[in-house]
Amino acid sequence: MIGNRDAPAQTAINERVLSTHHLSDGLAKRTIAGGAIAVGAQFVRFALQLASSAVLARLLEPSQFGLVAMAGTVTAFIVVLTELNVATAAVQQEKLDQNTASALMWIAIGTGILAFLISAAAAPASLWFFEDPRLPLVVLGLGLNAPIYAFGALHAALLTRNMRWLDLQIASLSALATGVIAAIIAAKVFAAGYWALVIQLWITALTTTAAVWILCPWRPSIVKDWSAAKSSLKFGFHLTGAMILNYFHLQLDNILIGARWGSVELGFYSRAYNLLMMPLNFLSGPLGSAMIPALSRLHREPTKWREAYLDALGVITFVGAGIAGMLYGGASPIIDIVLGPQWQAVKLIFSCLVLGMLATVPMSATGWIYISTGRTDRMFYWSMIGVPIYVTSFLIGLPYGAVGVALCYSISRYVAFFPSMFMAIYQTNITIFDILAVIAVPTLAGATAGLSLSLVVAGLSTAPALAAVAAAGLLYAGICALAVLYLPVYRRLRSRSLHTIHSAYAGLLRRGPAG
C-alpha cells in the first residue's frame, strides 16, 4: 500500500507513464530506434537460444524434449487465455487513464490464475490422451507460468506503449539468460532431466515479471468503474479468440505426432520446429514490438500508416527471405553444429519446415494491421478460415511421420497466403499489388539463393559448407542492397535508411572521439 504522504507523488508518476503525448514528436525516429535496439537485442537472444539448444541437446534425450513438448500442447492452449490480451489493448489505445489501466491489470491477473486452475484440471486428461504417467506433473508445472506472466503483463505493455525499447530488452534478455543458466545447471549438476526445461521456463517467467515491475514505476489502484475496460475487453476477446483458433495449428501437429508416432519422433520434430522459430521470432519480435505501437499512433493518418507498414514489410521480407535461403541451403551443417550427430533425423524435417518461411514471414506482418487498426474481429474471422487449412495439412502429412507433417504444413502456408493478405488489407488503403511489389524481389532472391546453396553444400564437409553459406549470405545481401538503391518501389525505404545512417553518423561526429 502507498501511504497518504506518498500518494500524490505516485499519482504523478502514474499519469506520466500513462500519457503518450510526448511520443508524437519524433515518432519515426523512435520507431527506427526501437527496431534497431530490438534487432541488436535479438542477435543476443538468438545466440542465447542457440547456445541453450546446443548445450541442452547434448545433456538431454530426444524423448525428454518430446515429453515437455507434449505437456506444452496442453498448456499452450491455456496460456492463450492468460490476461485475455488486455495488455495488447492497452498498447493500442490512444488514451489510457489510471482507472482503466488498473482494471486491465486486475483482469489480467485474475485470468492468469484461472488459466493455472484450468491447467491443473487438464493435467489428468493429458495422462489419458498420451498415456505417459510423467505428464500430469509437467503440465501442472508449465501451467504455473500463466499467473506469473499475467502479473507483469500490463507493466510490459506500458513499457511498450511508451516505446521504452531498451528497458524492454533488458527485462527480456536478463530473464532469458537467467533461465538458460538455471536449465543448464539443473541438467548438468542435478541431473534434473526434463525438469530442467520446466525450471528454465519458471526462472524466465519470474525474472521477466520482476524486471518489468522494477523498470516500470506505474502502480495499480482501486478500480472505481469496471465498465471503463469494456472496449479493451472486446478488443482482447477477439484477439484471444484468434489465438485460441491458432492454437490448433500451432500445437495440433505436436499432439498428432506424439499420439501417432511417440515421444522420440515428436522430440525430433519439436527440435526442428524450435530451431525454425528462432529466426522467425528474430524477425517478428523486434519489428513487431516497434511497429505495433507506432502504427497504432498513426492509424488515423492513413497515408503515413500505409507508408510505414509497407516499409516495415519490405525490411522484414528482405531479412526473412535471406535467412530462409541460408537455412534451407545450409540445413545439414547447421544441424550438425547446433544439435550434434545424434539429431540427424532433424535435418529433413527442418528443411521441409523452412520451405514455408518465404510465405510465413510476410504473413506474420498482417497482425500489425489488425492490432494497430483495432480490427481484431477480422483477425478472428481469418483464423476461422486459415486454421482449417493448416489442420487439413497436418492430417494429410501425418501418415508419413514428422517429415510429412512438416512438408504439408509448408505447402499450406502458400495456399493460405493470398486469402490471408486479402482479409488483412480489406477496407484499408493498402492493395495486394502494393504488397507483391514490396516482397517480390527478396522472395525470388531468397528462393534462388536457397536452391543454389543446397546444390553447392551437398557432399561438402561442415567447414566448407559453412563457408559456402556465409558467401551466399553476402551475395544475397549485395543483391538486396542494389534493389533498395535502384528500384523505385523502395524509394521511401531507401530515403529512410539513408537518413537513419546519416543521423547516426552525425551523432558520432558530434560526440567526438571516445576517450
Mean pLDDT of the chain: 85
Is it the case that residue 355 has pLDDT exceeding 90?
A: yes
**Own/partner pairs for 474-483, CB < 8 Å, 24+ apart?**
475/449, 476/322, 476/325, 476/326, 476/445, 476/446, 476/449, 477/322, 479/445, 480/318, 480/322, 480/441, 480/442, 480/445, 483/441, 483/442, 483/445
Residue of 392, 332, 322, 389 whose CA lies nearest to 357: 322
Distance CA 194, CA 65 (A): 7
The pLDDT confidence band at residue 207, using thresholds 50, 70 and 90, is very high
- C-alpha cell recorded at residue 496: 529512410
In this prediction, residues 492-505 reach a mean pLDDT of 67
List the single range of 358-362, 488-492, 500-504 with lowest mean pLDDT.
Answer: 500-504
Collapse the DSSP code of 194 into the 3-class scheme (helix H, G, I; strand E, B; otherwise coil) and give the result.
coil
CB 325 within 8 A of CB 281: no
Is it the case that residue 3 has pLDDT exceeding 80?
A: no
Q: What is the pLDDT of residues 117-128, one digit of tens each?
A: 988 888 888 877
Which region holds residue 293: left if phi is over 0, alpha if psi is between -120 and 50, else beta? Answer: alpha
pLDDT at residue number 1 = 42
In terms of DSSP H, where are the helices of 330-375? 331-338, 346-354, 357-364, 366-372
The pLDDT confidence band at residue 43, using thresholds 50, 70 and 90, is confident
In this prediction, residues 236-262 reach a mean pLDDT of 79
**Cβ neighbourhood burial of 304 (10 Å; 0-12, 13-18, 19+):** middle
Give residues with Cβ within 8 angstroms of 15, minimum separation 6: 98
- C-alpha cell recorded at residue 40: 541488436
List the single range of 43-47, 195-199, 204-208 with lowest mean pLDDT.
Answer: 43-47
Is it the case that residue 236 has pLDDT exceeding 70?
A: no
pLDDT at residue number 439 = 95
Residue of 86, 111, 82, 105 whose CA lies nearest to 221: 105
Distance CA 143, CA 74 (A): 9
Distance CA 442, CA 493 (A): 14
**Cβ neighbourhood burial of 3 (10 Å; 0-12, 13-18, 19+):** exposed
Distance CA 319, CA 480 (A): 9
CB 66 within 8 A of CB 258: yes
Distance CA 298, CA 372 (A): 8
Residue of 236, 213, 205, 284 whose CA lies nearest to 91: 236
Distance CA 467, CA 378 (A): 45
Across 15-24, 43-52, 93-102, 356-365, the highest mean pLDDT is recorded for: 356-365
Collapse the DSSP code of 83 into the 3-class scheme (helix H, G, I; strand E, B; otherwise coil) and give the result.
helix
The pLDDT confidence band at residue 514, using thresholds 50, 70 and 90, is very low
Collapse the DSSP code of 206 into the 3-class scheme (helix H, G, I; strand E, B; otherwise coil) and give the result.
helix
- C-alpha cell recorded at residue 37: 535496439
User: Can you tell me which residue has the cell 515429453?
Assistant: 67
User: Can you tell me which residue has the cell 523502395?
Assistant: 490
Please state the separation of Cα 30 from the chain's center in Å: 21
In this prediction, residues 34-63 reach a mean pLDDT of 82
Q: What are phi and psi of 133, to 5 degrees?
A: -65, -15
Q: What is the pTM of this model?
A: 0.71
Distance CA 328, CA 510 (A): 44
Q: Find the helix or strand (DSSP H, E) in which 455 lies.
A: helix 432-457
Q: How far is CA 105 from CA 19, 86, 147, 164, 208, in A?
A: 17, 8, 12, 19, 16
Q: How far apart are the first and last CA of the chain?
A: 47
- C-alpha cell recorded at residue 123: 493435467
The pLDDT confidence band at residue 84, using thresholds 50, 70 and 90, is low
Q: What is the pLDDT of residues 170-192, one digit of tens each?
A: 999 999 999 999 999 999 999 99
Is it the case that residue 22 has pLDDT exceeding 70?
A: no
The Cα angle at residue 45 between residues 324 and 464, in degrees rounded to 5: 45
Which region holds residue 514: left if phi is over 0, alpha if psi is between -120 and 50, else beta? Answer: beta
User: Can you tell me which residue has the cell 539443473?
Assistant: 186
**Own/partner pairs for 219-222, CB < 8 Å, 24+ apart?**
219/2, 219/10, 219/13, 219/14, 220/101, 220/102, 220/105, 220/106, 220/154, 221/14, 221/98, 221/99, 221/102, 222/102
The pLDDT confidence band at residue 2, using thresholds 50, 70 and 90, is very low
The pLDDT confidence band at residue 161, using thresholds 50, 70 and 90, is confident
